[in-house]
Every structure is written in C-alpha cells, then in structure tokens.
Structure 1
Amino acid sequence: MPRRPRPASRRRRATVLALTAVGSLLALGAPTGLASAAPADPGPAKISATPRAGSAPVTLSPSRRTSLLKSAQTASGATAQRLGLGAQEKLVVKDVVQDADGTTHTRYERTYAGLPVLGGDLVVHLRNGRTTVSKATGATLAVPSLTPKLAASTATGKALAAARHGKVTGAETERAPRLVVWAGTGRPVLAWETVVEGVQADGTPSELQVVTDATSGKEILAAEKVHTGSGTGQYSGSVSVGSTPSGSTYQLVDPDRANQRTYDLNQGTSGTGTLFTDDNDVWGDGTPANRQTAGVDVAFGAAATWDYFKDVHGRNGIRNDGVAAYSRAHYGNSYVNAFWQDSCFCMTYGDGSGNTHPLTSLDVAAHEMSHGVTSATANLTYSGESGGLNEATSDIFAAAVEFDAGLTADVPDYLVGEKIDINGNGTPLRYMDKPSKDGSSRDYWSSTLGSIDVHYSSGPANHFFYLLSEGSGAKTVNGVAYDSPTYDGQAVTGIGIENAAAIWYRALSTYMTSSTNYAGARTATLSAAADLFGAYSPTYLAVADAWAGINVGNRIALGVNLAPIADQISGIGQAVSLQVDAYTTNTGAGLGYEATGLPDGLSISPSGLITGTPTTLGTGDVTIKVTDSTGASVSDTFAWRIAYVYANATRVDIPDNGAAVESALTIEGRDGNASATASVYVNIVHTYRGDLTVDLVGPNGTVYSLLNRSGGSADNVDQTFTVDASAQPLNGTWKLRVQDRASIDVGYIQRWQLTP
C-alpha cells in the first residue's frame, strides 16, 4: 500500500541511485519521497473491521512517560500487596503503555530478597478502576535458601563449557555470575546467571546467557542474546534517507528520527567504525562496490522500521523512549548474516558471500530491529516455544514493515529473505504461508515444538499470522502465489495484514510475558482482539480460527459455547466450587444456566457457579444447559461421583538421589476393604520425573508401584492411577512413598489424594 504522506516540515532527504531487479544502473533522479508504492492487489475478500479508537495506544511525550513510570514505581509497594506478592518480593517498573481511553498497562520485573527474578515479570492492567494481571509464572515465589551450594567459579566453568558445546569460540566472561532467582519454568530456584561472550560458528558475536541451578548445578537455560537473520540490501529502489549537514559535508544522521546514525565498520568486528559522510548529499550508486550503497539501505531500513512502529502503533522508538538505535554496515569479511544486540542497542550487517551481497534489505532491518522491540516488551525467552514466538515476532513485523513501506523494487510479500541466495538456489529462507517448504520449519504446533531450533519453531506462528492476514487456500498477493493449508482442513478467512499486525503488537506489548508459549500466545491475541474489535466479533473469531488452523486450541462455534466439563469426583462433606465456562458469540446477549441431576447439597448460581457440600454417596449424570437471551442454547452431560475422598496437601521435599520420603493420611470409621478400582491422584513438582519411583503403601504394608522411573526428562507428575487395593482394609494409615534415584534434579510432593 502507499506510504502515508509525510508532514511538509520534514527536512529534505538525500537522493540515492538504485538498481533495477536485473542490476542495471539507473540515472540520477529527483527525490521521490521515502518509498514508491507497490502495485495494489486486493486479493480474496477478507473480514473488514476498524479497531476501536479507545484501545489505540497513545504516543506518550517523554515527560508524560517519565511521570507515569515514576508514579507506578512509587506505588509499587501497594501494587505488590494488592497482587498478593510475598513480603520479600518487590516490583521494578520496566515500561508503561496507555490507551486512548485511559487504560494503563504497566510492565514490571520482580526481585526476591533483593535478587533479580528471571521469569517473574508481569503486566498490571488498570481499566476503569479494575485491576487485572498477566503473569509470566503462577508459581509461588519462594526458595528454601539464599545461600548457593554451587560456587560462582563453578557456575562460570559450566557456562564456558556450555558455550564451547554450542560452538562458540573465544568464550570468556566479562563479569562474574550474578545470583538470581529462576522462575521461568517449574518451581522457582536459586540460580547463577552468567553471560559468556565469544564468536559463533558463522562469525556472529555471541552473548550466551547461561542460567545454572545454584543448588544442583544443573543447566537451566542457555540462550543466545545476539539475534541473527538474513536479507538482501541492493534492491530497495530509489529511496530517501535522512542526513545532516556537517560543515562542507553531510552525515548519515537522521534528524527526524532521534538522530539515528549509520556507520561503516570497514570490515571490522568491534566498535562503531566511522560515520558515513558525503560531499554532495547524494549517496551510493546501487552497486556493492560503492560502500555507501549498503549504508543507504541500512539507513532506509532503520527509518522505515522507526516510522512503522511510530505511525502504526504509536511507539516512539525501539524502547518507546524516543532514543535511537544505531546501525553498522560492512561487518567482518564475507559475513553472511546480520544481527541485533541489546547490549549495544545496535543493528549490524555483513556484506555476504565475497563481500558482494550485503544483507541490508528492508526485511532484514525490520526483522532484527523488531528483536529490540520484543526485548523491550514481552522479552520472550530465546529458547523453547517462547524462543520460536520471539523469532516469529520479528518475521511478522518484517512483513508488516514491507507492506507499510510498499516499495516497487521490493514488492511486499510473506517471504523472509527472498532475495538472498545463501543456498545457491535463489529460494527464500522462510515461507509464512507454508513454513515447511524451507525443509526444516514446522507448519503446525506439536508437543515437541519447543525442542527444535527457534528459527524453525517459529514456523507455526508465522503460519498463524499468514492465515490471519490472508486466509487459507490458493491465492496471489502482489504477484506472489501462495497456498496455505490448515491443520483441521477447514478454511480460514483473513482479516488483512494491518489488523493482524495490530493484534499481534497489542498482544506482545500488553499481554505476553517472558515465558509465553503457543497456548499463551493464543490467549494473548484473543485478549488483544477483544480489546481492539470486541469479544466474539468476526475478527475475534478469525483469530481463534487461525490458531486452530495450526493446531492450537479450537475454533469458536457461532451461538452459545460451553467448555466441556470433565467427570467429577468430590468428597462427601467437602465443599465444592465449580465454575461453568460458557460464552455466546451473539453480541450483547446474556446467559442463563440450568443444571439437572446435581448431587444432593449442590446448586448452581445465575452466573454458572456450582457450590455446596455433597451429602449423599453415589454416582449420577449431571446435565448443564446454557441459554442466551436470543434463545440459542447448548448442553453438556458428565458424571459426578460423590465418594469418600482423602487428601494430604502438606509439602514434602524429595532429597536429590537420596532416601525415600513419605506422605501419610489416615482413614477411620470405615468398614470393609478398599475397592478393586481405588483411585490415587499424585501431584509432584520435579524437574526430571524419570528420576522418581512412586509407590502407594497400604495399611497392611503392601506396596503398589505407581511410577517406576518412567517419563524421561519431562517435568512433574500430575496423574491419576488406578489400583486394585481390594486386599487392603480401609481403616488405617495409607502412605505415598517417593524416592529420587538419580542426581541433579530435585522436587517435592505437592498433593496426593486417595479415593479407596
């Protein structure tokens, strides 16, 4: 689409020479503005909607942003109390976003006893006096001791070994490890965080973040902080770049974008190099032999990315603080990559194979600089599923920036690095419509997705974004043919890239946290769609359809929807609280709830909450019917068993590779023996369930094996087992016996429950 006109007060920009698609040199032309429009291609019909004005982010002035940040930090103690955080926890404000309707979204990091908490970030949403929160972790923040068993020097050694294993050469640590609390996954633990610097196999600098359990010495995380990608830098067409006079020369310093600077590294690999200068403000000649050519593409990419985030999303720079990142061209010798570094807040580009194919295209700039936006917002951990979402976010905004710029010479598309010939066959690096066409990326989510390289686990999220933007099936957009499948074989109708990008940006900046996985991204984007277009609007439903198209969650049926209710087991005389989860896609329609067959002592409220205390043993079918005010209704039937249920929720720590521990409960006043189908529910928090043996011990001493070191490296035990305990008397003491039979990983019994 054509770029929006720029204000007349903007400074004159320097004209550049450019190449056509076949590389022939063009004559010097007059200024053309920041970009030329690509040919229009409306494509198939899409869902048309306009975001709600009240949900648009406000561009905050530096003074207003500072004021909001200061106010939030001043009130952080009260906020922590309101959220129910522990006495040793404190909140540290990271950023604040304000909507046009006055709603604020304040992003916090946490500390525990003065230690940074990795994976403890959260966002507090304040709307019309009501507070809600998005948390990276729901775990209670507590560690048994603040004294590490593992020495800092040992942690350094382990981190250096991890770097060498990851093919990082010249590995060294610039500073000593820092003691932190790791809360990214599982139970929070005391840990060492070490940053190892070096060089990756392809010549890219490395800043490897290694997190090591300070008690067991287990490596928790090894994540690269230098984010890399690819593109082409000689085909932007005739564009304009921001420059500033300096005496009798001009510098590539963009005065309209916080003085963004572009440097020539002169094939170096450190420092900033020299600022690009020119004697007549006419830069480059469109060939790689002219060093300014790469500088032009770099400066243009930085300007287009800055403008996109500011004009479209109201974001004032990468960190939303009005501060410019700088760019460095001509890195290394025949370096075939480009990268973003938070540590220098800068973007760096190599010159490609033979120093003749600079990786300086628009999609590269937008991809890499979007890593900076992700770091400043959700800060998605660069490993596992969150790492795939991190990479996908950069691909998503690379496409969005391309469409926003609308270059004729680099027609907007849903391909990544389409003009690079790294593999010698002229194919793109990634395909958003069908990611598996690159030979490595996944099209759909699966439980193994988090175990592959983040550049390939990004595939399903890229696929989601394409489906949401353009829809499924065969189509041609801007002259490029696509044919996007869906996991469930059902069609998805697109909503347009502008609205799809608006939803993703709001989800990233407002609802996602460092540990967000694919399921969490679905929740975040649905929340964003509800804010922007209304819950259960056609656009909202399209978001759910696109996620179902990559095997994440279900589609939302029109009319009344009722989440399936699992069969229930409740203890006689024990209080029950079960919320029926239902909603309607009929805008403004209220819901009514009916229940038949409820156990004696239970009832359902007008809001669908089932409460009470069961009074009678037995099993029966319960039917829930939900009807909205238009008359649409849906029902679900499930079994509800009222039995004698006994539980112990006292935590019992499991020593590492040590003696067995037990958790006991006592049954009294019962006659006869236990059932041949006794049910044992076990909830153990542990970082390697394959270490564990779990047994049920009956009152007469008989041992029933529930788990014998099965499950491999998966975390936790959250499982119900069936045991023939008919030889056991009901009365007496029953025990859950757990033993850790291997070193390194630790955990604890959180709860277990017996229905004999």
Structure 2
Amino acid sequence: MKLQASLLGLAIASALAFAPAQAANGNRADIVNRANALVSAQPAILHSNAGDRFVVRDVVVDRLGTEHVRYDRTWNGLPVLGGDFIMHSRNGQLTGVSQTLQSAARPNLTPRISADQAIVEAGAKFGMRFSGVPTSRMVIYARGATPVLAHDVVYEGIKQDQTPTRMHYIVDANSGKILDRWDDIHTNRTASTGAARPGPGRQGGGTCTSPAAATGTGASLFLGSVTIGTTNCGSFYQMVDRTRGSSAGYNATHDMNNKTGNSMGDVFTDADNAWGSGTLSNRATVAVDAHYGIAMTWDYYKNKHSRNGIDGIGTGAISRVHYGNNYGNAFWSDGCYCMTFGDGDNGATIYPLVSLDVAGHEMSHGVTSRTANLTYSGESGGLNEATSDIFGTMVEFYANNASDPGDYVMGEELFPNNSTMSEAIRWMFKPSLDSKYGSTYSPDCYSGSLGSLDVHYSSGVANHFFYLLAEGAVVPAGFGAGTWANLTPSSLVCNGNIGLTGIGKDKAAAIWYVALTTQFTSSTNYAQARTGTLAAASTLYGAGSAEYNAVNAAWAAVNVNAAPVVQQPLPQRRR
C-alpha cells in the first residue's frame, strides 16, 4: 500500500510494503509518520525545494531504538539521481541525516537537447549492437555539486564476452555531454530490466504435483559432498529449495544450456535426489556448488544479520549456471532477480565460477540493490563491489567447509593448481597484487582519482580497510617475506601504522552491514563511508569504544581521513 501525506507543501509517499520488515508491522506506520514530520520540518537540512516529493523505500530500527527511514526523491515529477537520503531519529527527535545532495537549487526544465539527440549521443559511447529500443527519461542528476537536467538513456545488449549489459548514460540536457554512466548488470570480474521476476523456467522432469520440501545430496566441484534443499515432485525432484524463500519465489537453480540472454533456462531435475558427480562431465555438479553457495549466503545473512533473504522479506532468487560458451564471469541482475554463472573454460585456465565466495558475492549485489542501492559508478560503485567481496568472503568463513577454508582472497578456488593462491580475482589484504594482470590495478591507498577507475579496481581500498579492521596489519599465512607476494606488515598499511590491531571479522562485518543498511545512500563516497561505518560502530559498540577507534584507525591506514571529499563520478575504464 501507499500512504500519502502533504506536510508543508512536501508530498511524502510511504511505500511500506516494499521495505524489508526490519520494524514490526504494527509500529511501521508510526515510524514513517514520525519521519515524515521530521522531513517536513527540516527543508534546509535536506536541501529541499518546493517541487520535491519523497517516497519511503526502507525502514530499519537499530538496537538502540534509533529509527532509520530511507527516502527517494523526485522534483516536479522527475527522479533526482543522488537525491536519496536517510532520516535518523530517536523518540521523534532528529539525530542526523545521511545524504549526498549538496544544493536546494534546481535546473531549468526546458532542455536544449531532445531525448532523440541524447539517445544518439549515448549510442556513440555504447559502440555495439543493441537489443530492443533504447529508452530515455528526463531526470535531475544530483551526484555532482549542482543538480543538472539530464536524460537517462538506457541501451541493452550482449557484450563481446557474452555478458549482458543494461547501460545507463546520463546526458546533460543542455550540452549533450555524458555526465556519468553505469551498468545495471553487476559482474564479479572486470569484463563483463527492471522487469517483474520471471517464472521458474521449463521443468525438464514434467509437472511438479503436490511439491514438498526435501533434502538432497550433492557431489560438488569445489566442496565435496554437501546437502542441498530440493523439492519432491512425486516421481522426480527439482533443485528448488523450499526452505529458503516463500510462495513469492524459492531459491532455485536452472541450467542455461550454454545460451545467453534473458532466458531462464530449465530448472534442474533428478530422479533420486542425488545430484552431480563431482566432475564437470555431469552438468548438475556445478549446479550443486551454486545452489549450496546461495543457501549458505542466505543462512549467513539470516543467522548473522537477521536478514530474511535478498529483499529482507524472504523472496527467493534464481541461480543460472552453464551460461554461454567458455564464459569466464558471473553476475547479478535486478531485472531477473537472479545470479548467473559462466563455465569459464572448464578448468583449462579457470573453472566454472561457482565457488562459495563468488556465490556470496553475487547474491550480495542483490542485498545492496535492496538497501543502499550504491550506484555502480565512481566511488559508490567501488563500495558496491567491495560490499560483495566483503560478504562473499564472510560466507566462505561462515560455511566452514574444509575443502574451501575461509580466507581474504576472492575466487582462488577457480584457478587450477593454485595451492599458493597466486592466482585470484582479488586479494583483499593487498589489492595491488592484481597488478600482475595488467597496467590498471586496484590501489591499496585512497587518492582523489580513485573514482575514475573501473569499480572492480576502486573497490580495493574498501576491501583493504575491511581486512585491516578485521585482522590488523598482520600478513596472512603463505604471503609473507620470501613467498611470491613477499609481504611485510609495513606493506599492508599506507600510513606506517604497523601496530594496527584488528577487532575480528564478525565485528567488522557487523559494522559494514549496519552502515550499508542504515547509513549509506546511492551516492555514498569513501569519505562518507568512513562517517557511516563510524556511526555504525557507535551504534553497535559505543562512541569511543575500542571498535569505534579501530574503524577510525583502519580508514587512516588506507588514507581515508576526516577531510570531506566531493565525489565526481567519471566514466569507468574497462580491462
């Protein structure tokens, strides 16, 4: 439902049903009403304009009773990109606002550049065959210092490497300049429609009558023998986990049959509820890894952060495996509410991308999209990617599987003969180790140019922060002096603080999760992430606590300090 209110000329729509049920249903409307009153009373703080309208997107009440209400903003009916904010209050009193909008000024609404012209400008940058018809909508672009009238042009297609793309180009409606760009498809590696959730795909074993939850056994590629949630259909079984999800959608795993695009493929079926063989010759083997990995991610969020699935209200998602031919990537798409995994080159140089940390990484993109919705561009895009690396890593630790012990290396299981972990997608404790793959690499330390990098590289500084917060300036076993990485404590910090101590991975993850869900907005940059994680540490452990001070010290160790930094998103570079 939507609750409409008009307070001092500000229309506020409260989309209560959309937000995760972090507050009890009985007091949810009261929380929103209190927040609406504060919004009405604080136009200057919110840089409000007479044409502003607000929609509640999320409500969270933390352990101290502070109410965090997340709003999206429009102006004269146009979406304000970067205009979202979070009202923080306790006992009806404002305690703070998280936002990136810097001005109450609004642009002239008469464009000099038409939608058709904007589509042409964006098409020149898209530079590949597109599918369907490009679209354009008028928006207010407010991720920079001054809000600008712009066209949000969207092109869809399939990249040469088989990754689908849904590219947004923000075109200045007066000059035709490309102000920003980002992809709705969030990949695991450099390379690589707001539609309703698709149906379950074809059912290879026939119609599932009187479905019932079951427990199957799986012979996985990476993890040995595991148990997985399945569905008993009477005469056969489906790889549909009825214990994780709801009638709105259960977690399910589908075979893409090496096709690309928007097809959902076939749900995996089996006669005896014993899946895979542990080898790539059996198509169900990698499905077991993906299905199990998503289950572990679901359980991690539920048991560690009290979150009920991606959207917080228990809607399951689809995992698609065997996507494309020799496709060496994985991705999350909001359009299909699904995770998709390629086969790599079947182990010649890289295995199918269904390792535990990759599954956790992709599902965490979905969690980010339903919370902070960090825009996949500039510094916010780097924080989006880092969030997935952080929680993908935490899922690996949570699963506690002897075949894939937890570590701070992303995707190490994907590479053959990799006992020293010298091959990986990313190394969180020393992001610049990926310089071995090319001249563009992940920086260890913050600089003002970080936002100009591809989001998979700009994520490195946040990954580095998280490792230092969790473990301190301690070289992981196997990466010290004399090894291929040749690391020392001094090489792990940017400010010489080799005495930096960690607070443990669980506390570090709790701080990041609270910051993501109650402090970060769509355009949060690194300076604001520092502020947000300090606020989260204060909520969880107290201002001035050892944990709070550790957050401050870890950010300082990657050169993110108190001085504010204005985010200016730039076009992404691609490997």
Corresponding position: 1:242 with 2:229: yes
Task: Quote the residue 1:586 is aligned against.
Answer: none
Residue deviations 1:526-547, cap 9 Å, x none?
1111111111111111111111
Distance in 2 (CA, whole Å) between partners of 1:511 and 1:62 is 17
% same residue: 48
Task: Quote the residue 1:412 is aligned against.
Answer: 406
| Code of the aligned partner of 2:443 | R
Structure 2 residue corresponding to 1:129, chosen from 81, 92, 95? 92
Task: Quote the residue 2:151 is aligned against.
Answer: 192
Judged with a 3 Å threshold, the aligned counterparts in structure 2 of structure 1 residues 243 and 465 are, in CA distance, closer, same or farther, namely same
Judged with a 3 Å threshold, the aligned counterparts in structure 2 of structure 1 residues 71 and 345 are, in CA distance, closer, same or farther, namely farther
- Alpha-carbon contact 2:31-2:67 (below 8 Å) kept: no
Q: Which has the higher strand share?
A: 1
| Code of the aligned partner of 1:217 | G
Judged with a 3 Å threshold, the aligned counterparts in structure 2 of structure 1 residues 512 and 176 are, in CA distance, closer, same or farther, namely same
* TM-score when normalising by structure 2: 0.81
Task: Quote the residue 1:304 is aligned against.
Answer: 296
- Alpha-carbon contact 1:119-1:514 (below 8 Å) kept: yes
TM-align CA RMSD: 2.8
Give matches, 1:30-109, under 5 Å.
78-84=37-43, 85-109=48-72
Distance in 2 (CA, whole Å) between partners of 1:174 and 1:132 is 46
Task: Quote the residue 2:12 is aligned against.
Answer: none
Task: Quote the residue 2:82 is aligned against.
Answer: 119
| Counterpart secondary structure, 1:512 | coil
Corresponding position: 1:371 with 2:365: yes
Distance in 1 (CA, whole Å) between partners of 2:375 and 2:344 is 29
Distance in 1 (CA, whole Å) between partners of 2:86 and 2:337 is 24
Residue deviations 1:49-68, cap 9 Å, x none?
xxxxxxxxxxx996966666
- Alpha-carbon contact 1:413-1:477 (below 8 Å) kept: no
- Alpha-carbon contact 1:160-1:172 (below 8 Å) kept: no
Judged with a 3 Å threshold, the aligned counterparts in structure 2 of structure 1 residues 76 and 537 are, in CA distance, closer, same or farther, namely closer
Residue deviations 1:485-519, cap 9 Å, x none?
21111121000000000001111111111111111
Corresponding position: 1:254 with 2:213: no
| Code of the aligned partner of 2:495 | D
Distance in 2 (CA, whole Å) between partners of 1:535 and 1:468 is 16
Mean Cα displacement is larger for which, 141-150 or 208-217? 141-150
Give matches, 1:176-215, under 5 Å.
176-215=135-174
Distance in 1 (CA, whole Å) between partners of 2:294 and 2:362 is 10
| Code of the aligned partner of 1:387 | G
- Alpha-carbon contact 2:379-2:455 (below 8 Å) kept: yes
Task: Quote the residue 2:438 is aligned against.
Answer: none
Corresponding position: 1:274 with 2:266: yes
| Counterpart secondary structure, 2:366 | helix
Judged with a 3 Å threshold, the aligned counterparts in structure 2 of structure 1 residues 379 and 75 are, in CA distance, closer, same or farther, namely same
Mean Cα displacement is larger for which, 492-501 or 346-355? 346-355
Corresponding position: 1:552 with 2:552: no
Structure 1 residue corresponding to 2:493, chosen from 486, 494, 497? 486
Judged with a 3 Å threshold, the aligned counterparts in structure 2 of structure 1 residues 63 and 432 are, in CA distance, closer, same or farther, namely closer
Give the superposition deviation at 1:79. Answer: 4.0
Task: Quote the residue 1:326 is aligned against.
Answer: 318
Task: Quote the residue 1:146 is aligned against.
Answer: 109
Task: Quote the residue 1:283 is aligned against.
Answer: 275
| Code of the aligned partner of 2:120 | G
Structure 2 residue corresponding to 1:528, chosen from 520, 523, 536? 536
Residue deviations 1:363-397, cap 9 Å, x none?
11111111111111111121111111111111111
Corresponding position: 1:429 with 2:425: yes
Residue deviations 1:108-134, cap 9 Å, x none?
100111111111010111223322343
From the CA coordinates, give the structure whose radius of gyration is larger: 1
Instruction: Note the residue ranges of structure 2 that are not aligned, 5 or more in a row.
Output: 1-18, 191-219, 436-440, 571-575
Task: Quote the residue 1:388 is aligned against.
Answer: 382
Distance in 1 (CA, whole Å) between partners of 2:332 and 2:52 is 32
Instruction: Note the residue ranges of structure 1 that are not aligned, 5 or more in a row.
Output: 1-59, 555-562, 564-684, 689-712, 714-756
Task: Quote the residue 1:602 is aligned against.
Answer: none
- Alpha-carbon contact 1:420-1:426 (below 8 Å) kept: no
Give the superposition deviation at 1:99. Answer: 2.3
Corresponding position: 1:448 with 2:442: no
Give the superposition deviation at 1:307. Answer: 0.8
Distance in 1 (CA, whole Å) between partners of 2:537 and 2:241 is 35
- Alpha-carbon contact 2:107-2:147 (below 8 Å) kept: no
Distance in 2 (CA, whole Å) between partners of 1:303 and 1:540 is 32
- Alpha-carbon contact 1:237-1:408 (below 8 Å) kept: no
Distance in 2 (CA, whole Å) between partners of 1:298 and 1:207 is 24
Give the superposition deviation at 1:257. Answer: 0.6
| Code of the aligned partner of 1:486 | V
Structure 1 residue corresponding to 2:340, chosen from 336, 348, 372? 348
Give the superposition deviation at 1:77. Answer: 5.3
Residue deviations 1:626-677, cap 9 Å, x none?
xxxxxxxxxxxxxxxxxxxxxxxxxxxxxxxxxxxxxxxxxxxxxxxxxxxx
| Counterpart secondary structure, 1:150 | coil
Give the superposition deviation at 1:189. Answer: 1.2
- Alpha-carbon contact 1:173-1:195 (below 8 Å) kept: no
| Code of the aligned partner of 1:222 | R
Judged with a 3 Å threshold, the aligned counterparts in structure 2 of structure 1 residues 62 and 411 are, in CA distance, closer, same or farther, namely same
Distance in 1 (CA, whole Å) between partners of 2:75 and 2:417 is 48
Residue deviations 1:187-206, cap 9 Å, x none?
00111112110122321000
Task: Quote the residue 1:315 is aligned against.
Answer: 307
Q: Which has the higher helix share?
A: 2
Task: Quote the residue 1:9 is aligned against.
Answer: none
Corresponding position: 1:226 with 2:233: no
| Code of the aligned partner of 2:231 | T
Distance in 1 (CA, whole Å) between partners of 2:21 and 2:153 is 33
Distance in 2 (CA, whole Å) between partners of 1:405 and 1:141 is 48
| Counterpart secondary structure, 1:227 | strand
Task: Quote the residue 2:551 is aligned against.
Answer: 543
Give the superposition deviation at 1:254. Answer: 0.7
Give the superposition deviation at 1:321. Answer: 2.1
| Counterpart secondary structure, 1:124 | strand
- Alpha-carbon contact 1:378-1:514 (below 8 Å) kept: yes
Judged with a 3 Å threshold, the aligned counterparts in structure 2 of structure 1 residues 432 and 238 are, in CA distance, closer, same or farther, namely same
Task: Quote the residue 1:359 is aligned against.
Answer: 353
- Alpha-carbon contact 1:69-1:95 (below 8 Å) kept: no
| Code of the aligned partner of 1:374 | T
| Counterpart secondary structure, 2:83 | strand
Task: Quote the residue 1:637 is aligned against.
Answer: none
Judged with a 3 Å threshold, the aligned counterparts in structure 2 of structure 1 residues 191 and 414 are, in CA distance, closer, same or farther, namely same
- Alpha-carbon contact 1:136-1:184 (below 8 Å) kept: no
Judged with a 3 Å threshold, the aligned counterparts in structure 2 of structure 1 residues 66 and 111 are, in CA distance, closer, same or farther, namely farther
Judged with a 3 Å threshold, the aligned counterparts in structure 2 of structure 1 residues 492 and 112 are, in CA distance, closer, same or farther, namely same
- Alpha-carbon contact 1:134-1:513 (below 8 Å) kept: no
Give matches, 1:554-569, under 5 Å.
none
